[in-house]
């Protein structure tokens, strides 16, 4: 049994069916890349796992227990943490204050908070230099690092990232994704939603492609990177030029 098992999820917004039977797994130490075009249902998938949306049908089990219907904060407490699309850090708080909020569920354990902050600073040295800076004045890449760092403060067993490279230069996004690889190497299961298919497949173990609410392809990342359909739809043209 996988650490996280999603089976046959159907999710509706009103009477529009956004997910039409999504299934996927996440395993400790592995990155599962979730690819797909705009409006395919990638964010909806993550938001349903996080408990922000309720599926009409389907199952989500974590460590063998069903988490469907649990409140989002309970799901975070169990060890699943999401970095939403568009970062959503607190601009008027400092870097360090943002990280403290990420450790909210262990707020009474000051030593634990301190130790986890030290880990985040080790992973993102740039945040350490800027710990007292207001988050709103960080660069785009630094804000993304902070958003990931904040999610790591709860020491998740499953880390879900929704387009961490959005708006970043190819160099910076490569560096953020490299850090995501390091996080996985320490044993965390990662679900990585990415528009940058080339970079995502380069660091992922497995990958799936979602189109209009369904998984149309799934397999190990290296195999998918060679798949003609993936190359045509997600690795062609401008992308190839832009990221070398």
Ligand X SMILES: Nc1ncnc2c1ncn2[C@@H]1O[C@H](COP(=O)(O)OP(=O)(O)OP(=O)(O)O)[C@@H](O)[C@H]1O
Residues that bind ligand X (CB under 6 A): 13, 16, 18, 36, 38-44, 85
Q: Of 17 and 63, which has the nearer Cβ to ligand X? A: 17
Q: How far apart are CA 112 and CA 99, in angstroms?
A: 12
Q: What are phi and psi of 162, to 5 degrees?
A: -105, 100
Look up residue 134 and give its DSSP letter: B
165 binds Mg ion (CB under 5 A): no
Contact 3, 163 (CB under 8 A): no
According to DSSP, the β-strands at 57-62 and 31-35 are unpaired
If binding means CB under 5 A, how many residues of this protein chain bind Mg ion?
1
Q: Of 43 and 199, which has the nearer Cβ to Mg ion? A: 43
Q: Of 99 and 160, which has the nearer Cβ to ligand X? A: 160
CB of residue 3 vs Mg ion: minimum separation in angstroms? Answer: 23
Residues 207, 209, 210, 216, Cα dihedral to 10°: -120
Q: Of 22 and 153, which has the nearer Cβ to Mg ion? A: 22
Q: How far apart are CA 242 and CA 120, in angstroms?
A: 30
Mark residues 12-51: x for contact with Mg ion by CB under 5 A, - for none. -------------------------------x--------
Contact positions vs Mg ion (CB under 5 A): 43
């Amino acid at each position: 049994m996988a650490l996280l098992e999603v089976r046959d999820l159907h999710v509706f917004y009103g009477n529009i069916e956004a997910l039409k039977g999504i299934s996927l797994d996440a395993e400790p130490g592995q990155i599962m890349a979730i690819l797909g075009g705009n409006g395919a249902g990638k964010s909806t998938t993550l938001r349903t796992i996080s408990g922000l949306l309720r599926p009409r049908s389907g199952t989500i089990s974590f460590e063998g227990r069903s988490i469907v219907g649990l409140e989002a904060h309970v799901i975070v407490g169990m060890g699943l943490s999401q970095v939403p699309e568009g970062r959503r850090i607190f601009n008027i708080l400092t870097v360090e204050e943002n990280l403290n909020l990420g450790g909210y569920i262990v707020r009474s354990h000051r030593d634990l908070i301190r130790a986890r902050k030290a880990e985040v600073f080790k992973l993102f040295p740039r945040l350490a230099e800027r710990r007292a800076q207001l988050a709103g004045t960080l660069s785009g890449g630094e804000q993304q690092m902070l958003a990931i760092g904040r999610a790591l403060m709860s020491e998740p067993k499953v880390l879900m990232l929704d387009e961490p490279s959005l708006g970043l230069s190819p160099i910076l996004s490569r560096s953020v994704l490299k850090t995501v690889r390091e996080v996985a190497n320490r044993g965390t299961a990662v679900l990585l939603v990415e528009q940058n298919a080339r970079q995502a497949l380069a660091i992922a173990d497995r990958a799936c492609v979602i189109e209009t609410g369904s998984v149309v392809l799934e397999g190990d990342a290296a195999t998918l990177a060679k798949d003609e359909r993936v190359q045509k739809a997600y690795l062609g043209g401008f992308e190839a030029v832009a990221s070398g």
